[in-house]
Structure 1
């Protein structure tokens, strides 16, 4: 409020106090007129609008982080009521000044329920100081639903669920619903304890929109979309948060059609208006699932709603078009944005990296006004994908600050470029710098151990995993299964696999492949059937392991049936490596003519692995005629490899012929 308006405001409300003398106090952010102490003035001011105004200003400055201005107003107020003290206490709390908040609380001439609640909330904001909060809670002469809800929230966020449930069960029943019940439900949901949240929800007598929305969101996040939809359909009322949660739930389980249809229903519901968060969820889904048509429609809707100015939505659209590989459109959107944040720059840079235009990404990176860790890490990942590890290290050393993700980008870059020793060296340096590795870091170095088949290094990393209490991380467990399998230790690999609480497709693939590579074909196929029984859908990697297992065990007919089922049952197109496995399958069993038929049926040119499998089978079964065909193709594909010449020479030698019998082209 300008100084002249504020002066007019004050004079209007104290015109009866002629003896009042005012001082105009100026500061960088506010102008506040404070009267000199005067008994008659103070008596007339206790219920004035001026007091309300001061309290409002304290709250405003507290929320904006200007604690000094809030203190200045509070200290100059001639009269303070309970709301004034509570507003100042809350301002301290919101700005992390817990000691100042408690000191002020102790000085309060009168403490209301609201002031106690504010102090308990301050403890919640300050790392969930549950013991201190409960000590204060126990002192309260009187409590309301907010008091109980605050304390239950504090216990829940501190992980003290037994205490939270005990307090909930002991509190007056009439105060439970809906506020306290919602607090306990949200506490359970924040740590993924859906059953606990559902238990509280089921016994609630009075549910509000928050209760229903929280449970719908909880079921969606747990990917229990049927339960979420059942609840959603019987809700007495819905808001934009609920609609967005259920739409996002469908997108998370890759059911784009159902999610988008719900969005269309939402638009037809006249009681709910689509907001930027809803649109962001949909734009993200369109990009992820390659739904170009729907993405264009959403872009048009954003424009019609006048939300082109929204930076958050602009960033989402840039990301979407990058995923469509429409870099021209993404770039045009970026340059049209009147206001850009660091996410805008990072989104376009990441898009260029993803489509392989690393140099274009780097030019944009160099123009960035402010770079964050994500900017640097994205560029490191980009150059790593091109095999330019020297540039990765150069950028890494230039980074003003480095976190575990940046270190991991460098380490995984070396692993992806098969520079395994360098990966280990940088991992050791990361530990020396006292940067705590994350699960992806450890998965990367375990992958390096697996590729080198260095069992001892793998054991050391496994020991470090146990020391860091990360042995139950799924990505690490999968990497351990792969590492032990590739090192030939199948028993330890299976022991890790058996201890995985909820194995995913990668878990099964790692173990199936491990069995197959180590000659345990029957065990691999048994595990494949178990995987199917548990509802896991196989992918291309799964069938590589299965076909390899059939090859090692000699199950020709079963292997051929598995190969044909890829397309007919699972809608998976076999790749070159699958064909190589089938050629090897028929070749080892002596069906070389059938192997040639498979090669001739391939929808693409066979790679060296296919011809190598045929050449190996020809050597085993002394089929010089087929060996000549296979060797000829291998020489064309890999002219520097002497293996085909050696194999043919050996075959002719075995056959008693002293000539190569092959024309090098």
Structure 2
């Protein structure tokens, strides 16, 4: 190796200088690059009698833009007889793009000082920022003698993306000149951190700055923030500004406006923007589709889905989720089966749909089918199927799923941890639920709610109330679900005064309006404490019509405390609200019987019979080879009913011979 004409020290990038290229040679090389024949330009360039540095730089840049061209770019760089700042910057960019930061640093150090700043240093700064190494970017930036607006803007953006908004602002204020990139970086930094007022104020200040014109990137960022923060007025103002400034609604800008209006629930405005766009991509269609789903206009959503010229996995998943949210699981499954490619997200959408509809057995079956199809579950999948197991209170099933979570190293995902707390609580394993809860590094309101509800459901009222106090000490804001758990805990412990205090504090301290479920908890608390007249007064004061849960709680308390007058009142409301439900008839009949009015009780039973109301049969299930098989009391419709009956008869005879009869009867079980 020898030194080049630049008199730089020899390195791995130095080589004997070949002759210069001709214009024809440059055109030959560039044509081959455009045709994708990346090896030929090197061969061609070594034969060209004349070259210019621009030709070499163009070829190096073309190789770098190709995902597999870094080695060829290095070869060309070593052949260059005369390099300039662009040559070094292009090669440093190539190393950065290929993740070869050590090589980039090495070449940056070898770059002649006169060419190092700002172009080559900017390329290195960009590389460090792209991999999240802000400290190294700062080191390069502070070592620069000559900084341009790109250098400053890159660092401002880097600080903003790290959430160090104060340092970004300090750097911004020290900039000798600013451009639209630096302004946009600061606006984006404020908005991404949730400081909408500061970010929007910065946007308004940018408009007043001389020589700075906002671009579509700036507007896209502001539209996104308005949508996320629910700032309808500001969003409409910026939309009007964009129209007055003559912005064409290109794909990116148009999509951001559609998404914003969809988040506001303004589907008509979103649709107008959609049809104003000259060019649309699949994201445009998906954004509008999500808007229709959000406003629960499932028919219009499906019409749009059918007319889409192109569908991707997001399209299918959005439509399937829309049907699931309306409880139309048949349509969800139909679309799922038509879907050309299925990923973990769409599987999870179907599973979650069954869980939300309360069809827990079906959700678990779909989960096992997902595993059989070798689709890897994600944390939301596990969270959903754990909720299904909790709904069925099937601890053994939940343990199997928990084992899979551990095997896949997802046990520290917060959504999974919250679902595990709920699962173990509903299965009565409060100690296990508490252990999971205590392992959560940063519990959120869902974590606290799951544990508080778990304590309350299992009779640990004191622990539930203590956990609420801990929640408040950690500055976690309780919500409606928190108070449902706490009021339930007060009911289990008979804490009437404390229950009233918590109920009233919902409005006075937390600005939470109690819903019918909170009233039902209070009615249950008062009723179980024998304060039935107070419970009736509370129902009369409700700002909305009581649902069946409220009257059901009152009827249950009336039966316990033998208040026939209140029992009749509650039962009559339940007859009207749930005309096909046999439970209130049975409960009222029992109250009559216990009160010594058997004839009236018999009359209630006759009324139930004359109306054709039957008590729903009991249902059991058994899991065999990952499939849940349901059995209803008195059901003879199963195809193998006779075989099942014979098998049960044989099992009964065997159990009798093994002296199981007395043990069964002792435990309240009867063999037929």
> Per-residue CA shift, 1:177-227, capped at 9, x if unaligned?
9986776566446xxxx9x7999799999994433332233227xxxx7x5
Q: Which residue of 1 aligns with 2:67?
A: 96
Structure 1 residues 263 and 187: alpha-carbon distance in aligned structure 2, compared to 1, 3 A threshold? same
SS for the counterpart of 1:537 is coil
Structure 1 residues 80 and 659: alpha-carbon distance in aligned structure 2, compared to 1, 3 A threshold? farther
1:372 aligns with 2:312: yes
Q: Which residue of 2 aligns with 1:389?
A: 329
Does the 8 Å CA contact 1:377/1:406 hold for their aligned counterparts? yes
Q: Which residue of 1 aligns with 2:154?
A: 210
Q: Distance in 1 between matches of 2:289 and 2:239?
A: 21
Q: Distance in 2 between matches of 1:383 and 1:87?
A: 53
Structure 1 residues 657 and 476: alpha-carbon distance in aligned structure 2, compared to 1, 3 A threshold? same
SS for the counterpart of 1:68 is coil
Q: Distance in 2 between matches of 1:531 and 1:52?
A: 74
TM-score, normalised by the number of residues in structure 2: 0.75
Q: Distance in 1 between matches of 2:407 and 2:502?
A: 42
Does the 8 Å CA contact 1:178/1:208 hold for their aligned counterparts? no
Q: Distance in 2 between matches of 1:328 and 1:400?
A: 31
Q: Distance in 2 between matches of 1:61 and 1:531?
A: 67
SS for the counterpart of 2:110 is coil
Structure 1 residues 364 and 626: alpha-carbon distance in aligned structure 2, compared to 1, 3 A threshold? same
Q: Distance in 1 between matches of 2:172 and 2:143?
A: 18
Does the 8 Å CA contact 1:490/1:514 hold for their aligned counterparts? yes
Higher mean alpha-carbon deviation, 458-467 vs 68-77, is at 68-77
Q: Distance in 1 between matches of 2:286 and 2:506?
A: 39
Q: Which residue of 2 aligns with 1:274?
A: 214
Higher mean alpha-carbon deviation, 71-80 vs 604-613, is at 71-80
Does the 8 Å CA contact 1:67/1:91 hold for their aligned counterparts? no
SS for the counterpart of 2:587 is helix
Q: Which residue of 2 aligns with 1:602?
A: 542
> Per-residue CA shift, 1:288-341, capped at 9, x if unaligned?
444333222121011012123322221222222223333233222212221111
**Which residue of the other structure, out of 570, 573, 580, is the alignment partner of 1:633?**
573
Q: Alpha-carbon deviation of 1:397?
A: 2.1
Q: Alpha-carbon deviation of 1:404?
A: 1.6
Q: Distance in 1 between matches of 2:126 and 2:95?
A: 20
Q: Which residue of 2 aligns with 1:16?
A: none
> Per-residue CA shift, 1:453-486, capped at 9, x if unaligned?
1112211111111111111211112111212222
1:442 aligns with 2:442: no
Q: Distance in 1 between matches of 2:171 and 2:478?
A: 32
Structure 2: which 5+ runs fail to align?
A: 1-17, 146-150, 612-672
Does the 8 Å CA contact 1:145/1:179 hold for their aligned counterparts? no
* Mapping 1:317-466, distance limit 5 Å: 317-466=257-406
Q: Which residue of 2 aligns with 1:564?
A: 504
* Mapping 1:164-313, distance limit 5 Å: 187-188=131-132, 208-219=152-163, 227=166, 231=170, 236=175, 240-241=180-181, 243-244=183-184, 247-248=187-188, 251=191, 256-270=196-210, 272-313=212-253
Q: Alpha-carbon deviation of 1:116?
A: 7.9
Q: Alpha-carbon deviation of 1:73?
A: 9.1
* Mapping 1:496-535, distance limit 5 Å: 496-535=436-475
Q: Distance in 1 between matches of 2:49 and 2:346?
A: 55
Q: Which residue of 2 aligns with 1:653?
A: 593
Q: Alpha-carbon deviation of 1:125?
A: 3.6
Q: Alpha-carbon deviation of 1:569?
A: 1.3
Does the 8 Å CA contact 1:353/1:361 hold for their aligned counterparts? yes
**Which residue of the other structure, out of 53, 64, 67, is the alignment partner of 2:36?**
67
Q: Distance in 2 between matches of 1:197 and 1:546?
A: 51
Q: Alpha-carbon deviation of 1:607?
A: 0.4
Does the 8 Å CA contact 2:25/2:44 hold for their aligned counterparts? no
Q: Alpha-carbon deviation of 1:271?
A: 5.8
1:575 aligns with 2:530: no
Paired residues, number? 579
Q: Which residue of 2 aligns with 1:161?
A: none
Higher mean alpha-carbon deviation, 347-356 vs 105-114, is at 105-114
Does the 8 Å CA contact 2:74/2:91 hold for their aligned counterparts? no
Q: Alpha-carbon deviation of 1:232?
A: 7.6
Structure 1 residues 374 and 560: alpha-carbon distance in aligned structure 2, compared to 1, 3 A threshold? same
TM-score, normalised by the number of residues in structure 1: 0.76
1:624 aligns with 2:564: yes
> Per-residue CA shift, 1:136-162, capped at 9, x if unaligned?
97799936799999xxxxxxxxxxxxx
Q: Alpha-carbon deviation of 1:373?
A: 0.9
Q: Which residue of 2 aligns with 1:158?
A: none
Q: Distance in 2 between matches of 1:198 and 1:489?
A: 52
Structure 1 residues 620 and 409: alpha-carbon distance in aligned structure 2, compared to 1, 3 A threshold? same
- What's the Cα RMSD here? 4.0
Q: Alpha-carbon deviation of 1:75?
A: 2.6
Structure 1 residues 528 and 93: alpha-carbon distance in aligned structure 2, compared to 1, 3 A threshold? same
Does the 8 Å CA contact 1:117/1:146 hold for their aligned counterparts? no
Does the 8 Å CA contact 1:318/1:334 hold for their aligned counterparts? yes
Q: Alpha-carbon deviation of 1:606?
A: 0.5
* Mapping 1:14-53, distance limit 5 Å: 50=23
Higher mean alpha-carbon deviation, 406-415 vs 139-148, is at 139-148
**Which residue of the other structure, out of 255, 266, 283, is the alignment partner of 1:315?**
255
Q: Alpha-carbon deviation of 1:400?
A: 2.1
Structure 1 residues 139 and 94: alpha-carbon distance in aligned structure 2, compared to 1, 3 A threshold? closer
Q: Distance in 2 between matches of 1:409 and 1:339?
A: 30
Q: Alpha-carbon deviation of 1:51?
A: 9.1
